[in-house]
Amino acid sequence: MTTKRIFVITGPTGSGKTTVSHYLRSQYQIPQVITHTTRAPREGEVSGRDYYFETPASFATKHYLEHVTYSGNQY
C-alpha cells in the first residue's frame, strides 16, 4: 500500500518556494499543485497553469489547507 503525503511549501515572496517546487518535481516526480489567488494575473500568467485566479467571493467558497492575506490579496 502506498502512503500519500501532502507537502505544503510556504514562505514570503522571494524565499525560494518555486525553486523548491521545481526541485521536488524534477528529482522526485512530485506533481505541482496550482494554488489560488485573488490578485490580478501578471503578464504572461495563465489561469489554471500559474494560479487559479479568483474573486474575493469565489475564493471564500473554497476549502484550503492554508491561506493568507498578503498585500491585500488572498493566497
- What's the grid cell of residue 36? 489560488
Superfamily of domain 30-74: Guanylate Kinase phosphate binding domain (3.30.63.10)
Looking at residue 26, its pLDDT comes to 96
Q: pLDDT per residue over 8-64, tens digit each?
A: 888 887 899 889 999 999 999 988 888 899 999 999 999 999 999 999 999 999 999
Looking at residue 1, its pLDDT comes to 79
Number of separate helices (H) and strands (E) present in the chain: 2, 4
Cα 56 vs. chain centroid, distance in angstroms?
16
Q: Residues 7, 28: contact at Cβ < 8 Å?
A: no
